[in-house]
Amino acid sequence: MDFGEFYLYKNGTLAAISEPAEQEVGLAVADSLLIENGATHAIEQHKERFTSGVAIVSPEHLEDLPSFFEQSFALIPRTGRWWPRFELHLGSESPSQLFFRLRKAPDPLGKLTVWTLPEPDPRINPSIKGPDLSLGQQLRRKAKMNGADEAIILNSEGYISEGALSSLLWWRDDVLFAPSDAVRWLPSVTRNLVLEIAKQSGFEVRLVRAKPSELIGCEVWLLSALNGIREVEHWIDLGGPLAKPKHLEAFNKRMRLFSQQI
């Protein structure tokens, strides 16, 4: 795996470092976005999500963020596919620090198979992106051991929360559904964008509590900043088939219209 180039923000300057921060250890806040030929979706929303996490975990860094973001974006090449990440690390013996990680983006992925995690939501703090990223990778590896690409997390009552490292939406006819605030899910920039596109296009959007079996016969999507909207082709042990995609192509076209230069 390519962990990329690492930069540490210190005394107002973002400088390359030879020894990166330990992988995910002490990672308190993180945010990644896909940059393709110098363009991406929802730049301000990604910055706002990272800022919100920093405000909760380490507010003394808030005044550093405008300069940190400016210097980070200046490092991203304007050609090719990139998957940069903003990071705030908390050290056990050192003060919190801001890092920037510049990574090449992996090849885009298409439709996928999902598997339901057979235990209640194990995450520590799904309201902030960062602390549970390592756990999300572990859950995804469990899914692969069970013949799937992603694990779907349920709450203690069996209602759908989201994927281990993705958001989940589904269509029944021409109504778009998403998990409501009654379950824990990570604030998702891509989810917000897709729901906004649906509303602008005149579709009804409903936020509900749902169990996996209620999605039989639905068109199901997984969302992420890296891969956008992906069709869920198969859900292991769901009890019935999923619908073929009806809305996917149109929404992917609309998503591209929201791309902007960094």
* Residues in CB range of 77: below 8 A, 6 or more apart: 38
165 pLDDT above the threshold of 60? yes
Token pair belonging to 99: 């890092």
Give the number of other Cβ atoms within 10 Å of residue 10's Cβ: 12
Predicted pLDDT of residue 77? 97
- Residue 92: per-residue pLDDT: 65
Contacts of 208 (CB under 8 A, 6+ apart): 177, 178, 179, 180
Burial of 39 (0-12, 13-18, 19+ CB in 10 A): middle
Write the pLDDT tens digit of every residue in 40-54.
999 999 999 999 999
Give the separation between CA 155 and CA 109, rounded to whole angstroms. 27
3-class DSSP state of 93:
coil
- To the nearest whole number, what is the mean pLDDT of the chain? 94
pTM: 0.92
CA distance 248 to 230: 8
Query: What is residue 249's predicted lDDT score, i.e. its pLDDT?
Result: 95
Task: Write the CA distances from 24 to 29, 116, 121, 130, 140, integer angstroms.
Answer: 10, 25, 20, 8, 16
Domains and CATH numbers, the chain: 5-102 (3.30.470.10), 112-261 (3.20.10.10)
Q: Is the pLDDT of residue 252 over 70?
A: yes
User: What is the C-alpha to C-alpha distance for residues 121 and 16, in angstroms, rounded to an integer?
Assistant: 37
Q: Using 50, 70 and 90 to split pLDDT, how confident is the model at 1?
A: very low
Mean pLDDT of 88-112: 89
| pLDDT value at residue 18 | 81
AA letter at 238: L
